[in-house]
Amino acid sequence: MLKQSVIELPKVGEKRAQQLAELGIETVEDLLMYYPFRYDDIKERQLTEILDQEKVTIKGMVVSPPVVNRFGYKKSRLQFRMMQDHDVFNVSFFNQPYLKDKVIVSEELAVYGKWDAKHQSLTGMKILANGQAGDFAPIYHVNKSVRQSTLIDLIKVAFGEHSDEIEENLPLSLVNKYRLLDRKQAMFAMHFPKDKEEYHQAKRRVVFEEFFLFQMQIQGLKQTEKAEQNGLAIAYDNDRLKKFIDALPFELTTAQKKVTNEICRDMRRPSHMQRLLQGDVGSGKTIVAAIALYATMTAGFQGALMVPTEILAQQHVESLNELFDPLEVQVALLTGSTKAKERQQILSELENGEIDIVVGTHALIQEGVEFSNLGLVITDEQHRFGVNQRKILREKGWKPDVLFMTATPIPRTLAITAYGEMDVSIIDEMPAGRIPVKTRWVKPPQLTQVLTWAKKELEKGHQMYVICPLIEESEMLDVQNAVEIYNQLTDFFAPDFQVGILHGKMKNAEKEVIMETFKENELQILVSTTVIEVGVNVPNATLMLIIDADRFGLAQLHQLRGRVGRGSQASYCILIANPKNDMGKERMKIMTETNNGFVVSEKDLELRGPGEVFGFRQSGLPEFAAADIVVDATILEVARKEAQQIWQLKNWQILPEYAPLVAYLHLGEEGNRFFD
């Protein structure tokens, strides 16, 4: 019955049901689990103990009739006076003229609002009903059609009619082990806690429940993927692979060796590999990918590497051709810019197996791209592709092994949540000889000094990136910015140094020409929007200036910084910014204090939250009703371990203890709450 529509509740007609649906409330269970995002302390206070600008509830007698003054378009102010003991004070409500009927002279009233000590006045937020229970008032996300009071009334009705249908969905062993409230008590206390302690216990129970149920499903996916009949056994030629690695012009780091072994071990197994490879900018993920692709080829399978930009695809092909013997390994490039005739030939050679490895952009997932025997799919900077895009590429073969790579280190809590069904490999070590990039933060008035210093660095034969500010989400404005800065720098550095410009409105052929010219040092300064962010490799570029750096997130600043420091020379990243708020200042400070991408990503998550860092739309992150993966990270970890242990039990689904859990999750069925 909890799954029935809210329209079955008293006082809910079709119009009200539609308004609730806009809040994501469609069933009775949705309504009961639509938890407040905060609680106001509505305990009554005495005037003598209230601090200036404090939000409080004051109870007193109304001593003047209420007056409504109207001004502007649909604006109004309701005013009256109240007395507590012998102290009289003013009360004002803005744009709530309908409250006038609740204000009756000589009667007691309790008003919640913000206290102004200087003017001895209260700016009211709400009038509390007589006998309102508890010291806390729940505050919900609502819209113009559904008021707080309406929502609270409906939640009370839903509990009154359906509370007996709320059944326990956690194993009793876990409820007892962690001393959790039962489900019905916790759900009610989330809305109407008696005190802070009851709210704390209710929140603890609800957060654990959300994380645990999600992790049960994630671990189930992982078990399914690992079932032996669900994958390819890629029996690569170990001798050829070892010979290839020994012939590399450098020795792999300990971290690279470790992750290579993890990947190769997975590939040999008949179960399906789903592995996430994390590594900081410049840590050497590309060579690990090359080894995996080479191993795939020696087993008679094809490999595909999908990347987000054509510049990066071209660069990967060049790198792979340098590493592989062209007589032994056939590598092809397929992008949106590939000419029709060449594309047709590549498609034909992919289908008949003449091409061993194909590198490309979204073009790889278009219709007509067929493989002879696809064994390994690698997605680089995977967060730039939607879940469906990654899925389409996987389906180009019969359950090929999958390796996701990212140079944007993902905080552990995000990895557990968004990629919980995957195994994770981490390269946490930089190649020998890498000199850490020195990062400095300066204010805009110092730009001329910075450019004068940069000129001395350029005179040593080095090159410089200048990244333009991001303006909202308008690419056209970004381009205008880039052109303006390009003109300024051209004037400043003329005639000694050549300046180029790169932005998203250029055609791919134009971008390639500019990048090639910059690589050859025919341009010493490259002005760019953030198209430069991923994958560009010019070891001679040792300087990066980021204009209005506070407009970027920490992870993006770290990615941009990774474009320098790729050679053996000391490199610098100068952040030019005048942040207007504390968060902006904190971001600049963090960037100057660490080069560690994992530290940067954790800080970014703390400052901005998962929605901003990761982007909910394509990330696969669930939207929890009460849980927060940053604040509640410890509970997330506990829930994951408990879910893992249950899935390791043989035939746990038929054990009586887990019957309510199996029923609630609808295991094996479509349409559960997290994976719709």
Cβ proximity of 555 and 610 under 8 Å? no
Q: How far is CA 119 from the centre of its chain?
A: 45
Of 675, 553, 556, nearest in space to 620 by CA: 675
Phi, psi (degrees; rounded to nearest 5) at 156 = -65, -40
d(CA 174, CA 204): 13
Amino acid, res. 208 = F
Cβ proximity of 429 and 254 under 8 Å? yes
Tell the burial category of 580 from Cβ atoms under 10 Å away from its Cβ (0-12, 13-18, 19+).
exposed
Is pLDDT of 583 > 80?
A: yes
Q: What is the mean pLDDT of residues 401-416?
A: 77
Cβ proximity of 44 and 58 under 8 Å? yes
Instruction: List, for residues 57-88, the tens digit of each pLDDT value.
Output: 898 999 999 999 998 788 999 999 999 988 99
Instruction: List, for residues 86-117, the tens digit of each pLDDT value.
Output: 899 999 999 999 899 999 999 999 898 999 99
Paired sense of beta strands 75-84 and 67-71, if any: antiparallel
The tokens for 448 are: 């001329």
Q: What is the mean pLDDT of residues 383-399?
A: 61
The tokens for 95 are: 């744009």
SS3 assignment, position 459: helix
Q: What is the mean pLDDT of residues 544-570?
A: 85
Please report where in the chains the tokens 């056939």 appear, as a residue: 330
Angle, CA 68 vertex, CA 64 and CA 73 arms, to 5°: 165
DSSP for residue 33:
T
Q: What is the pTM of this model?
A: 0.64
d(CA 248, CA 245): 5
Cβ proximity of 32 and 162 under 8 Å? yes
The tokens for 507 are: 């055609």
Cβ proximity of 303 and 378 under 8 Å? yes
Q: What pLDDT score does 670 carry? A: 40
Instruction: List, for residues 113-164, the tens digit of each pLDDT value.
Output: 999 998 999 999 888 876 554 567 788 888 888 888 889 999 999 999 999 9
* Omega cis (within 30) before 495: yes
The CB density around residue 634, as the number of other CB atoms within 10 Å, is 9
Cβ proximity of 303 and 295 under 8 Å? no
Beta bridge partners of 500: 526
Amino acid, res. 54 = E
Q: What percentage of the chain carries pLDDT values higher than 70? A: 88
Q: What pLDDT score does 530 carry? A: 67
Q: What pLDDT score does 668 carry? A: 44
Cβ proximity of 414 and 408 under 8 Å? no
Beta bridge partners of 466: 527, 545
Q: How far is CA 30 from the centre of its chain?
A: 24
Is pLDDT of 238 > 80?
A: yes
Q: Supply the mean pLDDT for the chain.
A: 85
Of 541, 538, 526, 515, nearest in space to 482 by CA: 526
Q: What pLDDT score does 393 carry? A: 61
Q: What is the mean pLDDT of residues 397-414?
A: 78
Please report where in the chains the tokens 């001895």 appear, as a residue: 120
Q: What is the mean pLDDT of residues 423-433?
A: 80
Q: How confident is the model at residue 674 (pLDDT cuts 50, 70, 90)?
A: very low
Q: What pLDDT score does 358 carry? A: 94
Is pLDDT of 640 > 70?
A: yes
| Length in residues, the chain | 676
Please report where in the chains the tokens 């410049």 appear, as a residue: 282
d(CA 295, CA 301): 9
Cβ proximity of 587 and 557 under 8 Å? yes
